[in-house]
Amino acid sequence: MTQKAAYLLAGGPGSDVAHLVALLRQALPVSRPRAPRVAYIGAASGDDAGFFRRLARLLEQAGAGAVTLAPTCGRSPRRAGLFHQALADAEAVFVSGGDVADGMDALLAAGAIPLLRERFDAGIPFVGLSAGSILLGNEWIAWDDPDDDHTARLFPCLGFAPLVCDTHSEDDDWSELRTLLTLRPVGSCGYGIPAPAMLRVHPDGRLDVLGGDVLRLERGPNSWIQCPISPVPSLACDAVTAAAGREM
């Protein structure tokens, strides 16, 4: 099998549930003869049980079959076995929200990344939500002092989607994404995915936009270059290419 697209949903507080379910339906391989089994990665929320129950219900409404927690927090042979079994059985992988840095730390500590990469390379679709979408990208930022952007530093993420993005931060004009881009060379770009929207990211970097406008933000020599990318007219239609080429 060849790599499939990665799906980056924003979600966020106040998201319309019906709209979110419609987006998830676009991301899951629901055309199979039976409902697809989904492995749930809750690393960014510490495998929070409440998050898992709520999001499993949304995934089931979108057409998922069994949704199984693939535990990544807490070390024990039993939890490691459950993680490997959930990934082995999965026909899609869902990466939930929370804190990006905590999520990467948990995945690294659990030794989970090689198996996630293996499943992605085998053609299993990966779907991120909020911080989970950022985790699927190339990198994110951490601060030694949250009140001082001079202490911001980059750290690598999974890199299954060859770009950087932020999610549901339209109300603060994507301030964290802008901070990230100031740490990269002039000409670097990232994507702001607002609450209603989803990016489908192909392995070659081509992007399809669904659900709402997505902002392409580029660091110019002296100012920001901003370009909204509009979605396809209907969620029921196959997406058309909204932007082409590897950006990062």
Domain for residue 137, yes or no? yes
Encoded tokens for 91: 């026909």
Calculate the average pLDDT of the chain. 90
Helical pair 113-121 and 100-110, crossing angle rounded to 10 deg: 90
**Residue 1 placed within a domain:** no
**Count of structural domains within the chain:** 1
The β-bridge partners of 152 are 143
Q: Is the pTM of this model over 0.95?
A: no
pLDDT digits (tens, 9 = 90+) for 158-184: 999 999 999 999 999 999 999 999 999
Tell me the residue range of the domain where 121 lies.
6-243
Could you tell me the pLDDT band of residue 233, with boundaries at 50, 70 and 90? low
111-121, pLDDT tens digit by residue? Answer: 999 999 999 99
DSSP code string of 149-190: GGGEEEEE---SSSS-EEES-GGGTTHHHHHHHHTS-TT-EE
In a domain, 210, yes or no: yes
Instruction: Answer whether residue 80 is part of any domain.
Output: yes
Q: What is the pLDDT of residue 239?
A: 37
Strand 241-243's sheet: what is its strand order?
67-69, 38-41, 92-95, 126-129, 6-9, 198-201, 207-210, 241-243
Residue 12 lies in a domain: yes
The verdict on residue 248 lying in a domain is: no
The string of pLDDT tens digits covering residues 22-67 is 999 999 998 778 899 999 999 999 999 999 999 999 999 999 999 9
126 lies in some domain = yes
Euclidean distance between CA atoms 35 and 60, whole angstroms: 9
Does residue 94 surpass a pLDDT of 90? Answer: yes
- Write out pLDDT tens, residues 182-223: 999 999 999 999 999 999 999 888 999 999 999 999 999 999
CATH code of the domain covering residue 23: 3.40.50.880
